[in-house]
Amino acid sequence: MSEEGGEGGVTDALLRHNASFAGDFDQRHLDVAPSLHLAVVACMDSRLDVFAVLGLNNGEAHVLRNAGGVITDDMVRSLSISQRRLGTREIILIHHTDCGMQKVTDDGFREELREATGMAPSFAIESFTDVDANVRQSIERLRTSPFIPHRDHIRGFVYDVDTGELREVEPA
Domain with 164 in it: what CATH number? 3.40.1050.10
Same domain, 51 and 127: yes
Same domain, 73 and 5: no
What is the pTM assigned to this prediction?
A: 0.91
Same domain, 143 and 122: yes
- Torsions phi, psi for 85 (to 5 deg): -115, -25
Other Cβ atoms less than 10 A from the Cβ of 22: the count is: 8
**95 in Cβ contact with 44 (< 8 Å):** no
Q: What range defines the domain where residue 81 resides?
A: 31-169
Query: What does the alpha-carbon distance between residue 141 and residue 154 come to, in Å, rounded to a whole number?
Result: 11
Same domain, 165 and 102: yes
**99 in Cβ contact with 129 (< 8 Å):** no
Same domain, 69 and 8: no
- Each of the 172 residues of the chain gets a pLDDT tens digit; together they read 555 555 678 999 999 999 999 988 887 889 999 999 999 999 999 999 999 999 999 999 999 999 999 999 999 999 999 999 999 999 999 999 999 999 999 999 999 999 999 999 999 999 999 999 999 999 999 999 999 999 999 999 999 999 999 999 999 8
Overall number of domains in the chain:
2
Burial 95-104, CB ≥16 within 10 A → b, else e: bbbebebbeb
Same domain, 17 and 36: no
Same domain, 79 and 114: yes
Same domain, 5 and 56: no
Query: What does the alpha-carbon distance between residue 35 and residue 121 come to, in Å, rounded to a whole number?
Result: 38
% helix / strand / coil in the chain, to the nearest 5?
40, 15, 45
Q: Which pLDDT belongs to residue 28?
A: 81
